Structure 1
Amino acid sequence: MAGGGGAVGEHYMRVIRGDDGYGDDGGQHQEKPGAAVSVAKGAAAAAAAGSMLALAGLTATGTALALIVATPLLVLFSPVLVPAAFAASLLAAGLASSGALGAAAVGVLAWMYRYLQSPSGEHAPAGAGKVEHARALLDAKAHDVGDWVQHRLDQART
């Protein structure tokens, strides 16, 4: 579909392309901006790009200087810093996993509460049908095992 249209709608595509006539002044087209406006826009863009490039350079220089200054300190204190970093990472991993497991437990408890509070079939939470099906299968299997055990006991008695 070159040019758009189709399922989206031709009017919508004309609006997107800007050829819908909105903003026209009765067929009189305004002139394109002059060269002075284009030069001013270019100068503003160049100034913005230059200042951002200068800030990026200053940031890179500061990072390199900080690394140069900090490297001897890191080497001197590495027998302390490496185990401390390892312990801190273990602590962070433990806290993150604890929080994730706690959130999962709260979600399961909320699901169970909604499941137990809902009348059978009405406004049951997602997955309640699967839980009921699994419960019915377990119940049937338990009865089958009970019947099998009873049958084996009867055979053993005779």
Structure 2
Amino acid sequence: MAERPHPHQLQVHPHHQVHPPHRYDASDKTFFPRRGPSAGELLVVLALLPVGGSLLGLAGITLVGSLIGLAVVTPLFVIFSPVLVPAAIGVFLAVAGVLTSGALGVTGLSSLAWVANCLRQASASMPQQLDEAKRRMQDMAVHMGQKTKEAGQATQNKVQEAAK
């Protein structure tokens, strides 16, 4: 078999110019693009500025109200703590009891559903099992009748031989 001549491949590499190390110049790069914001971006900022400001103001008012309420209620908590601590424990135990009874109720219902499903499946296959049991009992009765007949004949034969 004759060898084919390999085609010549010509690879062209562009000449890269080697630049001297470039010093960082802060004016080359900026954090923001050099162009200004678009009209759509300005409209979004102008629309959301009042909303954000009002939400920030409401958060501040809520914080101040919470601090004032805590300052007013703290002495009451200290004064009534002998009553509040047992009441809190009682509420906790009541909630825990309700949740526990609910969990046990769900567990009981799921257990009853499982038992009902097992009974339903067993009752579906029950007629087949009863028919098979009847057939086995009939076979056993026939077999026992045959054995009884054979035993009776054997006994009769032995009695006849003994009488001779």
**Rg larger in 1 or in 2?**
2
Q: What residue is the counterpart of 1:12 in the other structure?
A: none
5+ long unaligned stretches in structure 1: 1-33, 123-158
What is the 5 A alignment of 1:53-92? 53-92=56-95
Letter in 2 for 1:71: T
Coordinate RMSD, CA, aligned: 2.2
State the Cα deviation string for residues 6-26 of structure 1 (Å, max 9, x = none). Answer: xxxxxxxxxxxxxxxxxxxxx
CA positional deviation for 1:62: 1.2
User: What's the secondary structure of 1:118's corresponding residue?
Assistant: helix
Q: What residue is the counterpart of 1:3 in the other structure?
A: none
Separation of aligned partners in 1, 2:57 and 2:119 = 63
Separation of aligned partners in 1, 2:105 and 2:96 = 14
What is the aligned counterpart of 2:97 among 88, 94, 98?
94
Instruction: Among all aligned residue pairs of Structure 1 and Structure 2, give the percentage whose two residues are the same amino acid.
Output: 43
Q: What residue is the counterpart of 1:117 in the other structure?
A: 120
Q: Which runs of 4+ in 1 moved over 3 A?
A: 119-122
CA positional deviation for 1:120: 7.5
What is the aligned counterpart of 2:41 among 22, 35, 38?
38
Letter in 2 for 1:53: L
Separation of aligned partners in 1, 2:123 and 2:49 = 68
What is the aligned counterpart of 2:109 among 65, 81, 106?
106
Separation of aligned partners in 2, 1:110 and 1:117 = 10
Separation of aligned partners in 2, 1:48 and 1:121 = 67
CA positional deviation for 1:37: 2.5
Normalised to the residue count of structure 2, the TM-score between the two structures is 0.49
Aligned residues: 89
Separation of aligned partners in 1, 2:74 and 2:98 = 30
Separation of aligned partners in 1, 2:95 and 2:111 = 24
Normalised to the residue count of structure 1, the TM-score between the two structures is 0.51
Separation of aligned partners in 2, 1:36 and 1:95 = 59
State the Cα deviation string for residues 29-66 of structure 1 (Å, max 9, x = none). Answer: xxxxx833221111122222222211211111111111
User: What's the secondary structure of 2:42's corresponding residue?
Assistant: helix
